[in-house]
Amino acid sequence: MHKNKSRGAAVIAGIDHFVLTVRSVDDTCAFYQRVLGFERLDEPDRPTALLFGTQKINVHEVGHTFEPKAKAATPGAGDFCLIATRPLVEICASLAANGVVIEVGPVERVGARGAMMSVYFRDPDGNLVEVSEYRS
């Protein structure tokens, strides 16, 4: 496990969800469903969500956002890392099969839990998506 001696006792256990502001909810959901196998959830009076593992991404469409929201909610401003449940080689194959260009990788990185291998690509809004596999 990656240790940083300057850290205090964390009061946060993990991430439940984050929000992406997008040009098109349908295009964004179709991309994440097709490329990464996320599940779309639509509920009345709630943001559309993309479910994966025990987390989700809430998807707000420009002009149809929910309150409260980020001060400058803008499509393409996202930059995040997701941990794969399958070998990175399978993720790369899925990206290639779906015409998604890998911008960087596979490359070695250091994540919250230590050494990992990562690939970087962009979603339809230009958000930078990093998908990683921790080294055993």
Q: Please check whether residue 128 lies inside any domain of the structure.
A: yes
Rounded to two decimals, the pTM is 0.88
Q: Is 126 left (phi over 0), alpha (psi -120 to 50) or beta?
A: left
Q: Is residue 45 part of a domain?
A: yes
Residue at 2 is within a domain: no
Q: Which of the residues 43, 61, 90, 130 is marked catalytic?
A: 130
Res 112: pLDDT: 93
In a domain, 70, yes or no: yes
Backbone angles phi, psi at 90, to 5 degrees: -70, -40
| Residue 1 maps to a domain | no
Q: How many independent structural domains does the chain possess? A: 1
pLDDT tens track for 26-66: 999 999 999 999 999 999 989 999 999 999 999 999 877 66
97 DSSP assignment:
H
Residue 55 lies in a domain: yes
Residue of 21, 16, 19 lying closest to 73 (CA atoms): 21
Tokens 């502001």 locate to 21
Q: What is the pLDDT of residues 90-123, one digit of tens each?
A: 999 999 999 999 999 999 999 999 999 999 999 9
74: in domain: yes
Tokens 């001696």 — which residue?
5
Is residue 130 annotated as a catalytic residue, yes or no?
A: yes
CATH number of the domain that residue 75 is part of: 3.10.180.10
Q: Does residue 3 sit within a domain? A: no
- Domain hosting 54: range is 17-134
